[in-house]
Chains A and B, each alone.
Chain A
Amino acid sequence: MHALHESWRVLVPGGQLLDLRPLSINPPFEVIYPTEIKVPGLVDMSLDRENEVAANRALDEVVQAGTFKIKERDLFDFAYYWDSVDGAIAYVRDEWEDSAQIPEKLVKRACSLPASPQMQNRVRIQLRLQLTSLEKA
């Protein structure tokens, strides 16, 4: 909330505020083959839901206070690619520990899929990103 007030202070009248962030929608864990994509399960992003609610609330408050008005909202995908199933699982567990979890069922299914050593970037997780454009009132 204070950060949004500070951004309001440093913006010129009519200036633009852009809020870009991933949504806590569970994305598919995609294993890519030359002719198909297999999905052994969904990555659980529920750990991040609390932060998302707080950020939404902060935006709602400045809009309701009349300091910013929402001009536009856009959704798009942001893809991560790994060379291997193991690499993707290790990365999510190490680097996204505060926001995501890989269910054990997904790990078992993904590890039982046939290998495709000739492929590069064979695992993909696409987060859904939201870009909100606001104007300083």
Chain B
Amino acid sequence: MSVDPIRDPEGCEPSHLTAASQLAGSRVIEIGCGNGRLTRRYASLPKEVVGVDPDLADLRKARKDLPVRAPQAHLVCAKAESLPFKPHEFEVAIFAWSL
């Protein structure tokens, strides 16, 4: 079994993401959030974050690793092609390594 690497210790990914968008105070949906690897790095900023993924095992891991200071973060098991939300619910939609 291979050993997990250290990923992006410089924090380039979250810093470029936050520079490119107004996450603070927004309602954000991350489509294909997987195990929440990126979600947890910005989850404390928005007014609301919804991570969506069809893989329940990944979502369980994401739930475990979400920071406690991000009670506004929610996880939903759904497919990207059929999102269980009303129109116009979010200001920002993110596809991170999932398009």
A94 surroundings in chain B (CB, below 8 A): 1-2
Whether A105 is near chain B, meaning CB under 8 Å from some CB there, is no
Main secondary structure of the interface of B (DSSP, over half): loop
Q: Beta-carbon contacts of B5-39 to A below 8 Å, as 1s and 0s?
A: 11111101100110011100000010110000010
Q: Which of A21, A90, A93 contacts B99 (CB 8 A)?
A: A21
Q: How far is the CA of A107 from the CA of B96 in the complex (A)?
A: 30
Is A12 touching B90 in the complex (CB atoms < 8 A)?
Answer: yes
B residues in contact with A55, CB < 8 Å: 99
- Residues of chain B at interface, number, CB under 8 A: 40
**B91/A80 in contact, CB under 8 A:** no
The reply to whether B93 and A20 form a contact with Cβ atoms under 8 Å apart is no
0/1 string, A32-64, CB within 8 A of B gives 1 = 000000000000000000000001001100000
Most chain B Cβ neighbours within 10 Å, of A6, A77, A80, A87: A6
Residues of chain A within 8 A (CB-CB) of B89 are 10, 12
Docked complex: A1-34 residues within 8 A CB-CB of B: 2-4, 6-7, 9-13, 15-22
Q: How many residues of A contact B (CB 8 A)?
A: 42
Asked if A72 is an interface residue, CB under 8 A from chain B, the answer is yes
Q: Which 10 A-B pairs have the closest CB atoms?
A: A3-B80, A2-B81, A91-B2, A90-B2, A7-B93, A80-B5, A94-B2, A81-B6, A55-B99, A20-B96
List 19 extra interface pairs beyond A82-B5, A82-B6, A133-B21, CB under 8 A: A3-B81, A3-B95, A3-B99, A6-B31, A6-B80, A7-B80, A7-B95, A11-B90, A12-B89, A13-B88, A16-B22, A16-B93, A20-B17, A76-B12, A77-B12, A82-B3, A91-B4, A94-B1, A94-B2
B contacts, CB < 8 Å to A: 1-10, 12-13, 16-17, 20-22, 29, 31-32, 38, 80-83, 85-99
